[in-house]
Structure 1
């Protein structure tokens, strides 16, 4: 029997209420239900037929949520091989064929330009400020984000200020005592 702490539910769309099983890990921190609900309400007018990039996929829940809400395709990057296998199991169970999972270091992958995305999710492990900053820098430098790309950033609140490119305009943001999250639009 699965431990309740190891189960996530898809919040909305085609796969609403479906269970996603995750492996227990001290470093895996899936985006909470309330945050996902808020995020995808913000993304409602952008998500349909979008091509998405999930840079630190972890449980894969952001990508699955995007597909559930009619994103056309998601590329999910995850460095941990156990997490990658787990995401693939969940995709197979849900019969999702429009999400590619790549077991890779997101920073190394972002150094190689491939295509631009409509929506990019940046939710690296907390306290990994340099990884977040490096990701933002590479997304801008290598043009992963085109005009009007939406970029989601979730980060722990701290004294370190993350540099955001001037052409990324903050659209929405929420904070609590531990973390903040928001969406930016590239101009």
Structure 2
């Protein structure tokens, strides 16, 4: 499958083996299946009933995977209108309850009224180098529950500056991608 087009599958939970339509858009880079499987194995003990924020959602694969595995609700934020529409269509087709899509810029969204989330997926477009700015806004703006989990996906060689109270929990590398799970320490 060409990156950024075609279909990807949900790998666990009640939506297991469901396919997501992925629009062919510049810079759209779905999280690889192997990485999602590892991440959700790490998150298995904390997913039930958690409120999630899928910031820079893209295909929404991370948030839909979380809904499939027992997350209470997922707020998807995606700036590309076509990607947001594809995400809405996938959620409707799968009858994935608890997902809400906001078509808008992540930085603008984080300027709004904060509501704390227990799990945040932070996987912005690599070319925009937004990790540090978004992480700071999440931390400073009241968007994170006291012991929130934060997943960060970045280029293998990048070391985004993250808040000092985000304690590394687990990390890995797949191809040119570094993925890491952090735990917020109050």
Could you state the TM-score of these two structures normalised by the residue count of structure 2? Answer: 0.94
Displacement over 4 Å in runs of 4+: none
Cα deviation for residue 25 of structure 1 reads 1.8
Q: Say whether the 8 Å CA contact 2:35–2:174 is kept in structure 1.
A: no
Q: Say whether the 8 Å CA contact 1:56–1:122 is kept in structure 2.
A: yes
Unaligned runs of 5+ in 1: none
Q: Are residues 1:148 and 2:147 paired?
A: yes
Paired with 1:21 and 1:180, the residues of 2 have a C-alpha distance of: 25
Cα deviation for residue 166 of structure 1 reads 1.4
**1:40: which partner in 2?**
40
Number of matched residues? 184
RMSD value, Cα: 1.7
Cα deviation for residue 176 of structure 1 reads 3.8
Deviation by residue 1:87-127 (Cα, 9 ceiling, x = unmatched): 11111111112100000100111122321000000001113
Q: How does 1:73-112 map to 2 (within 5 A)?
A: 73-112=73-112
Could you state the TM-score of these two structures normalised by the residue count of structure 1? Answer: 0.93
Q: Are residues 1:182 and 2:180 paired?
A: yes
Q: Say whether the 8 Å CA contact 1:140–1:165 is kept in structure 2.
A: yes
Q: How does 1:8-157 map to 2 (within 5 A)?
A: 8-129=8-129, 131-157=130-156
Paired with 2:139 and 2:70, the residues of 1 have a C-alpha distance of: 26
Paired with 1:141 and 1:148, the residues of 2 have a C-alpha distance of: 14
